[in-house]
């Protein structure tokens, strides 16, 4: 873990499979709070959508996330509280 000049923190975690990446996302997703913003950067096929699927599942999304490559933005609803939204932007 390292601190940045802007006060943010960078944490590097290496996963070894898509399933492991989704599990990590799910664990992180349970900790998401209203207003949280997670930015992912990586090459095509690097696991951004796998992590996002896990994040959405852990957060409680009803829908199964897909890559928004051609739609730019996908919106998901939370189970038990459809007014809350999870946005996946590409």
What domains sit in the chain, N to C, each tagged with a CATH number? 2-89 (3.40.50.300)
**For residue range 24-34, what is the model confidence (pLDDT) as tens digits?**
999 999 999 98
Distance separating alpha carbons of residues 56 and 52, to the nearest angstrom: 6
pLDDT at residue 40, as a whole number: 85
Distance separating alpha carbons of residues 52 and 7, to the nearest angstrom: 24
**For residue range 61-88, what is the model confidence (pLDDT) as tens digits?**
988 888 776 778 888 889 988 888 888 8
């Amino acid at each position: 873990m390292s601190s940045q000049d802007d006060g943010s923190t960078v944490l590097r975690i290496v996963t070894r499979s898509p399933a492991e990446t989704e599990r990590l996302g799910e664990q992180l997703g349970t900790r998401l709070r209203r207003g949280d913003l997670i930015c992912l950067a990586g090459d095509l096929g690097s696991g951004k959508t796998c992590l996002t699927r896990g994040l959405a599942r852990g957060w409680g999304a009803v829908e199964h996330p897909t890559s928004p490559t051609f739609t730019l933005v996908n919106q998901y609803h939370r189970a038990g509280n459809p007014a809350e939204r999870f946005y996946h932007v590409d």
